[in-house]
Amino acid sequence: MTLKIGWIGCGIHATQMLLPQLVRHDVEIVALCDIDGKRLADAGRQFGVSRLTSDAEELIRASGIDAVGMAVGPEQHLHFGKMALERGLPVFMEKPPSGTAQGARELCAASERSGKPLLVGFMKRYSVGNKIAHNIIQSGRFGPVLGLTGYYMTAPGYFTGNVDYTGFFLHHCVHYMDLVSFFVSPIRTISARKVEKTPGRVLFHVGFEFECGAIGNIAMGTIQSRGTPVERIELMSDHQRLEVDDVIEVRWNRNPPFKVDDPHATLADDMDTLTWKPNFTAAANEDPKGYHPILADVVSALGGASTAAPTIHDGVIAMEWLEALRRELSL
C-alpha cells in the first residue's frame, strides 16, 4: 500500500537530500508545509504537490495522511512530533529530535503512549562505507572491536555573528554520539579536551570507554575547510583494522605475511588487504551518503514493519551523551 505522507519543512536539506530519495520509495507526498511561501511553492512544483500550507498544525490535523515527516528546527521537531504522535500518526524526523535530551525523552514517551513509531534520521549508519564496515564486524570475521579512532570536522564559516556552538553540536556532533555505539557497543563513559584558537574555531578530542571494554577517540571541530575530506573512522581488532574515509571508501587490513623477500609472493583472499570505493561515473542514481537506504527502512517502519531504522530511543541516547560531551567541554 502506498504510504501517504504529509511533510513539514521545505528547506534545502529537505528538497535536495531527503525528499528526492523519499519519493523513490512507495510513498505519495500528499501535503507540504513551510512558513516561507516561495520555498513552499517551489517544493510543490518540484514534487507535484498541490496541497500546500504554512500551518504545520493544520497539516497534522488534515485527513488522508498516513504519516508525518519533518526536517525543521529542533524545537519544532519536539512540538510537531508530539502533536503528530498524539493524533496517532507515525513520524520521521531529521536529527536532532529536539534541542535537549529532555525533549527527546518527551518524544520517546509520546511515541510509547501512542503506540506509533518515531524514526530519527541518523543516516550515517547507512552511508555505504559505514554500512560495509558494520557488516564486516557483524559477520564475525573481524573479531571483537578493541578500539575506534577518527575525526569529523566542519568549517568556521558555519558561524555568523555571535559564536554559538549549539548548532554544530546538534546538527553535526550528534551523529557520532550515535555512530560510535553502532560500530562498537553502548558508551560507558565519555571525556573530552579542547583548544579554541579564536571564537568559532575549536578543536576537541572526545575519549570513549565502551561497555564491551573497547576504547576510542574522535577529533571534532570547526577548523577545517569543508572543501577537503572531513570524516574518517578506523576500527581495530586483533591483527585487523577497518578504515572508512568520507563514509564511502573502505579498507580492510588483515594479517598478511611479509612479501618483499618471498619470490612467490601473491595476494591471498583470506589474508591480504581488501579495498572498495564506489563507481560514481556509472551509478548516477546511487546514494552513498545513506539517505535512500535509511528511508527504505523508515517507510517500512512507518507502515508498521519492524526494521533497523533508528528510533527515538536511539535519539534519546545520542542526545544524553551529547549533553555529557558539552558539559565536559564547557561549550
| Segment 193-212, tens digit of pLDDT | 999 988 889 999 999 999 99
CB distance 216 to 188 below 8 Å: no
Q: Is 132 helix (H, G, I), strand (E, B) or coil?
A: helix
CA 269 to each of CA 256, 272, 304: distance values in angstroms, whole numbers, following the listed order? 10, 6, 41
pLDDT digits (tens, 9 = 90+) for 57-110: 999 999 999 999 999 999 999 999 999 999 999 999 999 999 999 999 999 999
Residue 239 DSSP one-character state? T
Span(s) in the chain for CATH 3.30.360.10: 127-289
- How do beta strands 91-93 and 187-198 pair? unpaired
Fold observed for domain 3-121+292-307: Rossmann fold (3.40.50)
CA 117/CA 92 separation, integer angstroms: 8
CA dihedral 24, 28, 31, 36 (to 10 degrees): 10
CA dihedral 186, 189, 193, 199 (to 10 degrees): 60
Q: Provide the terminal-to-terminal Cα distance of the chain, rounded to the nearest Å.
A: 47
**DSSP string spanning 134-156?**
HHHHHHTSS----EEEEEEE--G
Span(s) in the chain for CATH 3.40.50.720: 3-121+292-307
Q: What is the mean pLDDT of the chain?
A: 95
Of all residues in the chain, what percent carry a pLDDT higher than 90? 89
**DSSP string spanning 32-46?**
EE-SSHHHHHHHHHH
Which CATH superfamily does the domain covering 127-289 fall into? Dihydrodipicolinate Reductase; domain 2 (3.30.360.10)
Instruction: Give the range among 40-44, 65-69, 116-120, 195-199 with minimum mean pLDDT.
Output: 195-199
